[in-house]
Amino acid sequence: MSAQNPHPTMRDVADLAGVSPMTVSRALHNDPNVAPSSVSAVLAAVDRLGYRRNEAARVLRTGRPHDLLGLVITNLANPFYAQLAVGVERFAAAHGQRVVIGNSADDPGRERELLDDFRSQRVSGLVVVPSGPDQRHLAPDVLDGVPVALAARPPRGVDLDCVLVDDTGGARDLTASLVAVGHKRIGFIGLPTTSWAGEQRLDGHLSALAAAGIGADADLLGSTDRLAGTAEDVARRLLALPRPPTALVAANNRITVGAYRAIRRYAQSTALAGFDDLDFADLLGQRLTVAAYDPALVGETAAALVLDRLRSADSTRQPARRRRIPVVVKQYRTLGDDPAVDVVREQS
Amino acid sequence: MSAQNPHPTMRDVADLAGVSPMTVSRALHNDPNVAPSSVSAVLAAVDRLGYRRNEAARVLRTGRPHDLLGLVITNLANPFYAQLAVGVERFAAAHGQRVVIGNSADDPGRERELLDDFRSQRVSGLVVVPSGPDQRHLAPDVLDGVPVALAARPPRGVDLDCVLVDDTGGARDLTASLVAVGHKRIGFIGLPTTSWAGEQRLDGHLSALAAAGIGADADLLGSTDRLAGTAEDVARRLLALPRPPTALVAANNRITVGAYRAIRRYAQSTALAGFDDLDFADLLGQRLTVAAYDPALVGETAAALVLDRLRSADSTRQPARRRRIPVVVKQYRTLGDDPAVDVVREQS
DNA sequence: CTGTTAGCGCATTCAG
DNA sequence: CTGAATGCGCTAACAG
């Protein structure tokens, strides 16, 4: 209860319990070869002193890493990555591991700093959303065997465990859902093509068109590079074409919102489909189709890959594994679609 | 480059550099009393071996805590707390501290576990979003002087540094903004009254009414307890009153969305104001007033309080401090308010 | 079942 | 400017 010695050690506990430090250590590790009477004496002393094992000493002595996972994320403020972090934390906690988080802000230099830090801390494993063009600095030999899994982006320049979203399949299904209801001129607003997801989602879109026998019209392919302007600008430009599209596909949630703005203003009959779920989708005055998946599952799966490697002895020898997170297409109706709309008051 | 000895020590570096471990230590600490030639020899050896200081050994030896802040959060999946975490991480990183995050899921038991863990890890400070009815377990003496700051919720049963949002003032201003445009019958949908923010926001609402000389009508006060049903249900009930309110105030973002649904369906002319900002507010088919603040600032401020205490020697002696995060009222127009609406295509 | 010995890697202290 | 000795708190490996 009362704090006198700020950090009592095993010695202190041992003295109070009238045993040796070794017995304390054993008792605290649930070693069966300790007399019950000793155990209770130790526990009592621990309680009285407020003793807490010094992790640093334990780590130093055993040479084993902390039960600590390092998570390097590009942007915790983005709900997608926040959810991913939730998934990592959840899985880690369920397996007795803590999580240290670092924000790389998509800066490869900062990413390296964080990795350095984490390794100095002797983390037992790493989950990384990589930011640079290449991940050779994450190769098993340079990491001295600390297991790592990439999340949301694929390894480049080296083969590593990774968890990816089914971008291509999701985008294909999204576009296919528009084709299925008769759309033939479908505009696409993509991410910068330098981004992995951007490339994949464009591929998916194009393959859906090809499968439907619709020729790709270059005029209908927009993207939100820095030059092209905001998603809303790009959408507006597409809607202003001589032969405008009857539907728009947006490559992520932010783009979907931009496209929505443009549609509401300039061409309200245009259909809209977007990658990523929107939790306020039913509040919009527009039907919306989305390609949805569970970002937390990405984190959970990545953590699972890391912990799995941690458990298996010859971790370094196993080949890199890939996991793919499924994407499903969902339709949202608007509030206005509800037959009950405008029924006004119930009683009154 | 090549990894041979998985964890080279100072000894290894010293041997390779042809100096003693002590010189390595000094060189790595930028001790001025080291010959430049030794420094460069050490640095070269470090680089060649991929040496990295063992934090556990350093911590053990110095007795000082890690440069590590523990963050206990109730729900990382909630954007509010995710932003708060961003703020903590940002401030910590700017001051050379890492952050360990744990999700308590609002469970006081889990919170204690996490705190225990963090203290075993010898974190240098703590930021906690407390979940229990009382925070005596965070008192300075039971924490042996590890500085702690509460975020988003006030201390109970003990006086601690804390950072709170100006719930009362924000709610007051929110309601006042409705009064200012002539509303006299204003419905309020609150949080469960057991919640700190719930209480404060209700207070603010009532004080705005009182200031305007509007008597509080109990019929117009709803809340989203478990019994009362969802926010949408409560809103609908208010709108169905014999003399329905002309405006609704929602006590947080989720409630705002529920109220919005009810208004769109049953009483579209009702004005709406809500606590918390909504990043898609302008997409709704309804003008909206919100009481907005910066959640990341809550985290930053809490981290600042902790680090400040860390720096000052006699930290325990200082009285507990309180910081209040300002809340501002913002008006959103809808897309439909835009004069450019329905201008259709630009060129065509 | 229990205790003793020894050393993990580093930084403080003191002596060159 | 440099090095040798010492011990932080803990636990593996060995005695009892």
Instruction: Measuring from the CA of residue A39 to each C1' atom, give the nucleotide at the shortest distance.
Output: C1
Token code pair at residue B60: 């053990």
Q: Stretch B126-132: mean pLDDT, rounded? A: 94
Neighbours of A104 (CB within 10 A): 23
Strand partners, B162: B150, B322
**pLDDT above 60 for B344:** no
Token code pair at residue B104: 């308590």
Strand D and B34 CB separated by under 7 Å: yes
Name which of B6, B117, B346 is nearest A145 (Cβ-Cβ). Answer: B6
- Measured between CA atoms, the residue of chain B closest to residue A253 is B280
Neighbours of B107 (CB within 10 A): 14
Instruction: Measuring from the CA of residue B14 to each C1' atom, give the nucleotide at the shortest distance.
Output: D3
Three-class DSSP category at A161: strand
- Measured between CA atoms, the residue of chain B closest to residue A8 is B144
Chosen from B97, B110, B263, B264 to mutate, greatest number of chain A CBs within 10 A: B264
C-alpha A40: how far from chain center: 44
Q: Do the chains contact at B343 and A265, CB–CB below 8 Å?
A: yes
Q: Do the chains contact at B76 and A89, CB–CB below 8 Å?
A: yes
Q: Scan for tokens 């969902």, then name that residue.
A: A330
pLDDT tens column, B274-292: 999 988 888 887 889 999 9
Instruction: Measuring from the CA of residue A60 to each C1' atom, give the nucleotide at the shortest distance.
Output: C8
What's the angle, vertex CA A332, arms to CA A330 and CA A335, rounded to 5?
Answer: 165
- CA B37, CA B50: separation in Å to the nearest integer? 20
Q: Which residues in chain B are closer than 8 Å to A101, comparing Cβ atoms?
A: 85, 89, 99-101
Q: What are the angstrom distances between the C-alpha of B346 and each of A236, A256, A315?
A: 9, 21, 60
pLDDT tens column, A125-137: 999 999 988 999 9
Name the pLDDT band for A340 (thresholds 50, 70, 90): very low
Q: What is the mean pLDDT of chain A?
A: 88
Name the pLDDT band for B315 (thresholds 50, 70, 90): low
Q: Among A111-115, A297-301, B78-82, B314-318, name the one with the lowest average pLDDT.
A: B314-318
B171 CA to chain A: closest CA distance, Å? 24
**pLDDT above 60 for B1:** no
**pLDDT above 70 for A301:** yes
> What's the CA A22/C1' C4 distance, rounded, in angstroms?
10
Q: Stretch A159-183: mean pLDDT, rounded? A: 96
Strand C and B58 CB separated by under 7 Å: yes
Name the pLDDT band for A44 (thresholds 50, 70, 90): confident
- Measured between CA atoms, the residue of chain B closest to residue A90 is B103
Strand D and B33 CB separated by under 7 Å: yes
Pick left, alpha or beta for residue A162 (phi over 0 → left; psi -120 to 50 → alpha; otherwise beta): beta
Strand C and A38 CB separated by under 7 Å: yes
- CA A157, CA A224: separation in Å to the nearest integer? 27
Beta pairing, strands B328-332 & B221-223? unpaired
Beta pairing, strands A322-325 & A271-275? unpaired
pLDDT tens column, B332-341: 987 765 533 3
Residues 52-111 of A with CB under 7 A from strand C: 57, 60-61, 63
A77 CA to chain B: closest CA distance, Å? 6
Burial of B52 (0-12, 13-18, 19+ CB in 10 A): middle
**pTM for the full model?**
0.84
Token code pair at residue B121: 């890890």
- CA A124, CA B95: separation in Å to the nearest integer? 25
| Rg (alpha carbons) of chain A, rounded to whole number | 27
- CA A117, CA B319: separation in Å to the nearest integer? 34
**Is B128:B148 a contact under the CB 8 Å cutoff?**
yes
pLDDT tens column, B79-100: 889 899 999 999 999 998 988 8
Q: Please give the helix or strand (H or E) that residue B273 lies within, else none.
A: strand B271-275
Three-class DSSP category at B334: coil
- CA A88, CA A80: separation in Å to the nearest integer? 13
- CA B99, CA B122: separation in Å to the nearest integer? 12
Comparing every residue's Cα with the C1' atom of nucleotide C2, the nearest one is A23
**pLDDT above 80 for B258:** yes
From the list B102, B106, B110, the residue with the least C-alpha distance to B69 is: B102
Name the pLDDT band for A76 (thresholds 50, 70, 90): confident
Residue type, B233: D
Confidence at residue B2, expressed as pLDDT on a 0 to 100 scale:
41
**Is A125:A71 a contact under the CB 8 Å cutoff?**
no
Crossing angle between the packed helical segments B21-28 and B36-49, to the nearest 10 degrees = 90
Q: Which residues in chain B are closer than 8 Å to A83, comparing Cβ atoms?
A: 77
What's the angle, vertex CA B315, arms to CA B313 and CA B316, rounded to 5?
Answer: 130
pLDDT tens column, A315-328: 667 889 999 999 99
Strand D and A60 CB separated by under 7 Å: yes
Strand D and B38 CB separated by under 7 Å: yes
Strand D and B236 CB separated by under 7 Å: no
Q: What is the dihedral of CA A16, A17, A23, A29, to 10 degrees?
A: -100
Three-class DSSP category at B331: strand
Instruction: Measuring from the CA of residue A35 to each C1' atom, give the nucleotide at the shortest distance.
Output: C1
Confidence at residue A35, expressed as pLDDT on a 0 to 100 scale:
86
Where is pLDDT greater, at B7 or B158? B158
Q: Which residues in chain B are closer than 8 Å to A264, comparing Cβ atoms?
A: 335-336, 341
Residue type, B177: S
Q: Do the chains contact at A100 and B102, CB–CB below 8 Å?
A: no
- CA A114, CA A108: separation in Å to the nearest integer? 10
**Is A273:A255 a contact under the CB 8 Å cutoff?**
no
Name which of A66, A77, A257 is nearest B83 (Cβ-Cβ). Answer: A77
Neighbours of A184 (CB within 10 A): 14
Name which of B79, B144, B266 is nearest A3 (Cβ-Cβ). Answer: B144
Which parts of B95-166 fold into alpha helices (H)? 108-120
Q: What are the angstrom distances between the C-alpha of B319 and each of B127, B152, B301?
A: 17, 19, 17
Strand partners, A102: A72
pLDDT tens column, B149-180: 999 999 999 999 999 999 999 999 999 999 99
**Is A187:A203 a contact under the CB 8 Å cutoff?**
no
Confidence at residue A313, expressed as pLDDT on a 0 to 100 scale:
62
| Rg (alpha carbons) of chain B, rounded to whole number | 27
Beta pairing, strands B288-292 & B328-332? antiparallel
From the list A286, A143, B333, the residue with the least C-alpha distance to A128 is: A143
Q: Which residues in chain B are closer than 8 Å to A7, comparing Cβ atoms?
A: 144
Name the pLDDT band for B297 (thresholds 50, 70, 90): very high
- CA A277, CA A80: separation in Å to the nearest integer? 10
Q: Stretch A228-248: mean pLDDT, rounded? A: 92
Helices (H) and strands (E) in chain A, counts: 11, 12
Which parts of B282-334 fold into alpha helices (H)? 295-311
> Which strands sit side by side in the sheet containing A271-275, from one edge to the other?
A221-223, A186-190, A247-250, A271-275, A288-292, A328-332
Q: Do the chains contact at A89 and B98, CB–CB below 8 Å?
A: no
Q: Do the chains contact at A335 and B236, CB–CB below 8 Å?
A: no
Strand C and B75 CB separated by under 7 Å: no
B334 CA to chain A: closest CA distance, Å? 10
Q: What are the angstrom distances between the C-alpha of A278 and each of A290, A294, A329, B108, B215?
A: 8, 12, 12, 32, 40
Q: Scan for tokens 């499968």, then name that residue.
A: A211
Q: Scan for tokens 């859902």, then name that residue.
A: A177
Q: What is the mean pLDDT of chain B?
A: 87
**pLDDT above 80 for A229:** no
Confidence at residue A170, expressed as pLDDT on a 0 to 100 scale:
97
Per-residue b/e over B214-232, b at no fewer than 16 CB within 10 Å? Answer: beeeeebbbbbeeeeeebb
Confidence at residue B182, expressed as pLDDT on a 0 to 100 scale:
94
Three-class DSSP category at A212: coil
Per-residue b/e over A225-247, b at no fewer than 16 CB within 10 Å? Answer: eeeeeebbebbbbbbbbeebbbb
Name the pLDDT band for A5 (thresholds 50, 70, 90): low
- CA A238, CA A222: separation in Å to the nearest integer? 8
Q: What are the angstrom distances between the C-alpha of B320 and each of B69, B139, B155, B309, B311?
A: 19, 11, 10, 10, 15
